[in-house]
Amino acid sequence: MTDRIHASGLRVSVVVAVYNPGPLLQRLFDSLRWQTLPAAAWEVIFVDDGSTDGSGRQIDELAEAHANVTAIHIPNSGWPGRPRNIGIDAATGRYIYIVDHDDWLTPEALERLADRADEGEADVVIGKEIGHGFGVPLELFARNVDDARLGADPLLHLLTPHKLFRRSMLVEHGIRFPEGRRRLEDHHFVVQCYFAARRIMILADYPCYHWTERPERQNATHSRIDPVGYYGNMREILDIVDRNTKPGSLRDRLYVHWYLSKTLHKLRGQRWQLAILAPPAASLLGEIGRIVEDRFSPRLDALLPVRYRMTARAVRSGNRRLLVAGATFLDGVEARVETTSVALDGTRMKVALSVALLDPSAQPLRFVTKDGRQYWAPPESMGFGGELQPEDLDATDTLGEAAVTIILRHRASATFFEHRVPWRLESGADDVRSRGGVTASFDLATVAAGGPLSSGTWDLFANLACAGFARRRRLPGGHPPPLDAMAAVSAYVTAAGNLALKVRRSDGPELVIAPPVPDVGWRITRSSVLNALRSRLPGRARRAVRAVIRTFRA
């Protein structure tokens, strides 16, 4: 590489847009002070976007006390793009790391990310993110990737800007965040970086970034969307894809991300039973119909999992009854998991499961064979099978990808790792059903993206996926071996009847948990309600409560 290395040795500039984070800003700064990268090798640039809670004074005090802290103040812009851009322009490090003011980093994050970028001559390094209060796509961090490619690796599954970017790349290509009231501004920035990057790397074996859901979101990103503005901004991102690809399979694969996750996926759940004919649901549906007609060719439907094809059919035909029926069906899909045996031999673990994905009538999903193809057979009781075409139901190309993923989640830090097992579905004379047995066998010394699990309690989950239908649930206890207080790894059954692991390591550091945050008062929020109910309600009831809350928030 020809990048000039600063005489000061400054490697990473951390850019933080600040607007009324309250005490969470101190937590972020504490996590920066813990970094193993020497303080002389990194800087943090706080850009205060007109805070009114005293945060502006706080960053001034930090800048006075620490030579590697810069405080910048601007009038309130109301959106993160402008303060981030000002921070990028002020940065002098070899790399830039975008961090939100209410999140935090683990101690080796900056050092590991910068080392990986140096060693691999990468322009973008995606460090493992941990979600607190919401999920992070598992497949992105299944393993380290030294040369990730758009269209081949799941880079679009997480388009947050919490990544390490080579500053010279941003300067050379003039890449900045869009400013003003914009939706999907992170996508706009990150997608440009992906196309400009000579190499993209994924760091999956160490949790770098903890992405938290605040008790009370005040920033603009979490206000109710304006469908016209939202899909107008999406069109601009699709224009970026068009400028950097030729018509063909790669462009189609990239388009499917926004077609599925930001368009069809918004028409899910019981909210459509409650609000399909009333604003803002009707307005959102109208804009979705327009962008599907304008930008998403019908040929893309063949790239969708079966579960989304009926939604696509409903949108393209303007069939609201089919849309509601499909959303109702999808909301009622459940996972059944039984643990039939658990065995531990040193660090080797073997878990046998009996699993099934069940439709709302508590029957396994059924796929019938016709002329060598396999088609989903919706239950007649749902009343929408006749409105779907054979191409909407064809699951032949995806049934072979059915899988059960065992997820190991550190209880205290929320760090997760996964182990994927192919799921051989039950086959009959003329049909296939979404049930069967699977056995997961993995080495706990290497399951953590090539390394061992850290000390602490690890909860186990199973994610069942078949033809785009998916559900996750805790692993029931089964009958693990007796708990051995001296063993490095022991399995046990929790008070709630679920399987968990107790890991005791004499070598290596413990996983670091966020420092405590000063009490900011008790608030009733969507998250607090759902968290309170999570351990007390079955999955179907939880989703019903969530749907009602979303409807009222809308």
Q: Is residue 1 part of a domain?
A: no
Euclidean distance between CA atoms 501 and 487, whole angstroms: 11
pLDDT of residue 66: 96
Q: Is residue 94 part of a domain?
A: yes
Identify which of 415, 411, 412, 436 has the alpha carbon closest to the alpha carbon of residue 499.
Answer: 411
Residues 483 and 540 in one domain: no
Residues 140 and 277 in one domain: no
pLDDT of residue 235: 97
* Three-state SS at 476: strand
Cβ atoms of 280 and 227 within 8 Å: the answer is yes
Two structure tokens written together for 540: 């179907």
Identify which of 487, 486, 497, 425 has the alpha carbon closest to the alpha carbon of residue 460.
Answer: 497
Q: Is residue 397 part of a domain?
A: yes
Residues 458 and 344 in one domain: yes
Per DSSP (E only), the strands in 346-401 are 348-358, 366-370, 373-376
Residue 187's domain is classified under what CATH number?
A: 3.90.550.10
Domain stops at, among 275, 305, 331? 331
Euclidean distance between CA atoms 19 and 3, whole angstroms: 33
Residues 239 and 205 in one domain: no
Q: Is residue 364 part of a domain?
A: yes
pLDDT of residue 269: 67
Identify which of 236, 470, 188, 466 has the alpha carbon closest to the alpha carbon of residue 333.
Answer: 470
Residues 450 and 308 in one domain: no
* Three-state SS at 546: helix
Residues 358 and 276 in one domain: no
Angle in degrees, CA 130, 423, 364, rounded to 5: 100
Residues 235 and 381 in one domain: no
pLDDT of residue 284: 81
| Other Cβ atoms closer than 10 A to 208 | 23
Q: Is residue 2 part of a domain?
A: no
Two structure tokens written together for 32: 């920066």
Euclidean distance between CA atoms 63 and 59, whole angstroms: 6
Euclidean distance between CA atoms 328 and 323, whole angstroms: 9
pLDDT of residue 516: 47
pLDDT of residue 90: 97
How many domains does the chain divide into? 4
Euclidean distance between CA atoms 103 and 153, whole angstroms: 26
Per DSSP (E only), the strands in 444-503 are 456-466, 469-474, 489-493, 499-503
The residue range of the domain holding 229 is: 224-331
Residues 443 and 534 in one domain: no
Two structure tokens written together for 243: 């400028």
Residues 128 and 198 in one domain: yes
Q: Is residue 90 part of a domain?
A: yes
CA atoms within 13 A on the CB side of 295: 25
pLDDT along the chain (554 residues), means of 10: 48 97 92 95 97 95 96 93 97 97 94 97 96 81 93 94 97 95 93 98 93 57 70 96 96 96 83 51 82 96 92 90 85 93 88 95 93 90 78 90 93 87 91 95 86 89 94 91 75 93 71 46 36 44 47 36
What does the DSSP assignment read for 458-471?
EEEEEEEEETTEEE
- Angular region, 508: left φ>0, alpha ψ -120 to 50, beta rest: left
This prediction's pTM? 0.85
User: Phi, psi at residue 552, to the nearest 5°?
Assistant: -65, -35
Residues 177 and 68 in one domain: yes
Q: Is residue 396 part of a domain?
A: yes
Residues 356 and 453 in one domain: yes
Domain stops at, among 306, 331, 356? 331
Cβ atoms of 428 and 374 within 8 Å: the answer is no
Residues 478 and 550 in one domain: no
Domain stops at, among 312, 331, 350? 331
pLDDT of residue 369: 93
Question: What separation in angstroms does the CA of 404 have from each of 337, 435, 540?
Answer: 10, 11, 20
**Could you tell me which residues are beta bridge partners of residue 15?**
45, 98
pLDDT of residue 222: 40
Q: Is residue 512 part of a domain?
A: no
Residue 365's domain is classified under what CATH number?
A: 2.60.40
pLDDT of residue 137: 84
What does the DSSP assignment read for 197-248?
-S-EEEEEEEEEEEEE--SS--SGGGSPP-HHHHHHHHHHHHHHHHHHS-TT
